[in-house]
Amino acid sequence: MPNTEWLIPDIKTTQDLSAAVLNFTTSIGRPFKLGKIIINFNDGASPPVAVAVTETITITLISAKGAIYNTILRKKSLSAESNFVYTAPSDSDYQSGDEIKIQCTDAGGVGITNVIVKAKELHK
């Protein structure tokens, strides 16, 4: 019997790169299908203006089976870019206890990082 998928509300976080690196781990806690991770950078003003950054983004599967099974899903060095989108492969189904870690360096020390994780809950 195929899985039923229900949309999980967007998982969001923000980090000021002038204060610290981005080091965020989801806490979904149930079987899920990863869709997209959208990351953009802005100046924090109101309204925000896009900021081009030169940083490294790392997206890692934190496995429920233990650290030996953790896997880097994508690592990308940005060069004067203001956004990044990771689209997971269509077979990105994860079990309860698996989580996604999103990291971004702060070498340039400027910009507000906004992250949105889009995923679906899996039911059998």
pLDDT along the chain (124 residues), means of 10: 81 95 96 97 94 96 97 97 96 95 93 95 82
What pLDDT was estimated at residue 108?
A: 86
pLDDT of residue 99: 98
Domain ranges in the chain are: 4-123
Q: What is the spatial distance between Cα 19 and Cα 31, in angstroms, rounded to a whole number?
A: 33
What's the CATH class of domain 4-123? mainly beta
φ, ψ at 48 (rounded to 5°)? -70, 145
Say what the pLDDT of residue 17 is: 95
C-alpha 111/C-alpha 40 separation (Å) is 9
Closest CA to 16 of 60, 51, 66, 47: 51
pLDDT of residue 89: 94
Return the pLDDT at 5: 85
The pLDDT value given to residue 110:
87
Query: In the prediction, which pLDDT does 2 show?
Result: 63
